[in-house]
Amino acid sequence: MQGPIRVTPRASGLALYVEADTLQSRRKLGDSPLGLAWAFLPGKSDLRVGLILVGLGRCIAMNGLAGGDNEYCAILVAINSILQIVLFAPLAVFFIRVISGETGISDISYEVVTISVGIPLAAAIIMRFTLRITAGPAWYERVFLRFVAPWSLIGLLYTIIVLFASQGCQVAHQLVSVIRVAAPLVVYFASIFCITLFITYRLCFKYPLAVTKSFTASSNNFELAIAVAVATFGPDSDQALASTIGPLIEVPVLGLVYLMRLIRKRWNWKA
C-alpha cells in the first residue's frame, strides 16, 4: 500500500496557479470568439451555453486508478468544491450573458450548486474527521477507504448509465450535434492534460502528484453542469444535451489511466 506523500508548498502553489490558469482556458473553451466552442459550434448558441457550463465545472477524474496521491487529491477536491460553490453561478451568468450576449437566462440558482457540491463536500468532511477520531486513522485508511474506493467507480458508471438513459432519445436523434460538442471537449482535455503533465514532469514532481494534478486540471464536473442545465433550461433543452456529452469524454479517459501507468514505467517516474 502506498504511503502518504508530503504535499510541498511548491505542489500547492502549482495547484492554485493551474486552477486560475485553467479557469482562463475554460473561458476560451466556452466563451471567447477565438475559443473552441465558437470554432466547433458557430451557429449553435444553445449548445455553446451547455458547453460553457461543462467547462466551468472542475472535477477529480480517475485519480486512484492511475496511481495518484489521495492526500493531494483530497486537497484539490476541497479547493475545487469551494471555488465552485462560490464562483460557479456568477461566472456562468457572466460568461453566458455578459460576454457571450446570450438571452433566455436571468440567473443560475445557488441552491442547485450548493446541493450538488456543498452537501457531498460537507458529508465527506464530517465523515472523514468523525471516523478518524472515533475509529482511528489506521482503520480509516486500511479498512474504510478500501471498502469505499470501488464504489466511486461504480457510482460513476451508474451515473453515466442514468444520464444516457434520460437523454438517450435526444442523443440518438442529434448525433451530429453530439459529435460537434464532443470534439472541443476532446481537444481541450488532451491539450490541458498533456501540458500539465509536461510541466509537472519538468519540475521534477513525483508521479502521484503529477498525475493527480493533470487529471484534475483537464477534467470536468459534468454532474454539476447537467444539474444546472436541467434546472435552468429544462431536461429536453439543447443545453442539457450538451452538458450530457461530458460522460462521453470520461469513459474513453479510462484508457488514459493505463497509458499513464505505461508512461510511468517507461520514463521510470519515481513515486
CATH code, 115: 1.20.1530.20
Q: What is the pLDDT of residue 103?
A: 67
The 10s digit of each residue's pLDDT in 68-77 is 777 777 777 7
Q: Is residue 27 part of a domain?
A: yes
- The pTM of the full predicted model, rounded to 2 decimals, is 0.76
Q: Is residue 2 part of a domain?
A: no
Q: Is residue 271 part of a domain?
A: no
- Collect all residues with Cβ–Cβ distance below 8 Å to 20 and sequence separation of at least 6: none
Q: Is residue 227 part of a domain?
A: yes
Average pLDDT, the chain: 75
Q: Is residue 1 part of a domain?
A: no
Q: Is residue 23 part of a domain?
A: yes
Alpha carbon distance 47, 37 (integer Å): 9
- The DSSP-derived string for 4-49 is P----HHHHHHHHHHHHHHHHHHHHHHT-TTSHHHHH-TT-HHHHH
- Max CA pair span of the chain: 57
Task: Kindly state the cell numbers that stand for 7.
Answer: 504535499
How many domains is the chain partitioned into structurally?
A: 1
Task: Kindly state the cell numbers that stand for 210.
Answer: 503529477
CA gyration radius, the chain:
19
Average pLDDT over residues 63-84: 74
Q: Is residue 189 part of a domain?
A: yes
Alpha carbon distance 240, 227 (integer Å): 8
Task: Kindly state the cell numbers that stand for 222.
Answer: 459534468
Phi (first) and psi of residue 220, to 5 degrees:
-125, 150
Q: What is the pLDDT of residue 6?
A: 47
Is the pLDDT score of 115 beyond 80? Answer: yes
The 10s digit of each residue's pLDDT in 2-48 is 444 444 554 555 555 555 444 444 444 443 333 677 777 777 888 88
Which H/E stretch holds residue 235? none
- Residues 228 and 113 sit within 8 Å (Cβ to Cβ): yes
Q: Is residue 55 part of a domain?
A: yes
- Residues 219 and 104 sit within 8 Å (Cβ to Cβ): no
Domain that holds residue 103: 9-266
Q: What is the pLDDT of residue 134?
A: 92
> Cell 472535477 sits at which residue?
59
Which H/E stretch holds residue 260? helix 246-266
Alpha carbon distance 175, 40 (integer Å): 14
